[in-house]
Amino acid sequence: MNWDQIAGNWKQMNGQLKEKWGKLTDDDLIAAAGKREQFVGKVQTRYGIAKDAAEKQIDEWAKGLKDAM
């Protein structure tokens, strides 16, 4: 699934996002609002990981959405 599709369905995906990244708060998800770079920053901050690692996790998750469809 490409990021435009994810952004368009952001509110509907909040449950999946919280399942995958349980440390993220509702406020984090609202602040990211489907913007990839901001979401990467939120994951990076909450989990104390490098930007590259956060991007890799998010890309793998997005790829999994595509594979599930």
Alpha carbon 22 to chain centroid, angstroms: 11
Instruction: Name the residue with higher pLDDT: 13 or 65.
Output: 13
The C-alpha R_g of the chain, in whole angstroms, comes to 11
What tokens were used for 12?
A: 């509907």
What sign does the CA torsion over 50, 45, 30, 65 have? positive
Q: Look at the chain and report how many structural domains it folds into.
A: 1
69 has pLDDT over 80: no
- Tens of pLDDT, residue by residue over 37-67, are 999 999 999 999 999 999 999 999 999 886 6
Domain with 41, as residue range(s), is 3-68
CATH number for the domain spanning 51: value is 1.10.1470.10
